[in-house]
Chains A and B, each alone.
Chain A
């Protein structure tokens, strides 16, 4: 299975400050069709995960533009330009390139 490794696992951030989460895969996530299937999800406390970004950098409908995704191959980053209170929770990366699709262990973002 493709192992997804996130860092940091805990991310205390001051409101209004930027935040960055790294996600690395044990194998390249470039699929045979040329696409890279790396998604980001956000899970607020007590809620189900919600997808934020798909295929590395495409924001889902309704996702604020302070969220951005980048990366290629085996290294990916989720950035929040200015953290707001509603951004707390756990962020997961997920690879959809090789079955079984796998998730990172999660990064918990909290407000300082």
Chain B
């Protein structure tokens, strides 16, 4: 069974870039069977799909965030990452990484989530 764990700074200053990494265990990041995604949840609010990345590097970004998002895969480290630029307080949220088996749309396994606060 896959396990995913997010890591990265819990505090980011406005206008800077948020950077998170998701470490995958129990499976290979280069598997052709999985898509790797990021979803966020502002405090007390609902879920928003930020985007996903395939092992090949193909990315699928939410158009609402596309201009600020970069996702990538690090095969040797069995990790994938999220970068969100020019952050504001509205980007304060719990960020989850998740996997989708065979198709992008499923979100089978989730990490525990990490809270990122945007504040000076």
Residues of A at under 8 Å CB distance from B?
Answer: 1, 37, 39, 41, 47-51, 54, 92, 94, 96-97, 99-106
Contact = CB atoms under 8 A, between A and B. Distances in A.
Interface residues of B, number: 19
Contact of A104 (B46, B63, B104, B110): B46
A51 B106 contact: yes
A49 B94 CA distance: 12
Nearest to A90: B46
A48 B107 contact: no
A44 to B, nearest CB: 12
Nearest to B108: A51
B47 A39 contact: no
Given A101-B49, A104-B46, A49 B106 contact: no
Given A39-B106, A48-B113, A96-B104, 7 more contacts: A48-B110, A49-B47, A92-B46, A100-B64, A101-B104, A103-B47, A103-B48
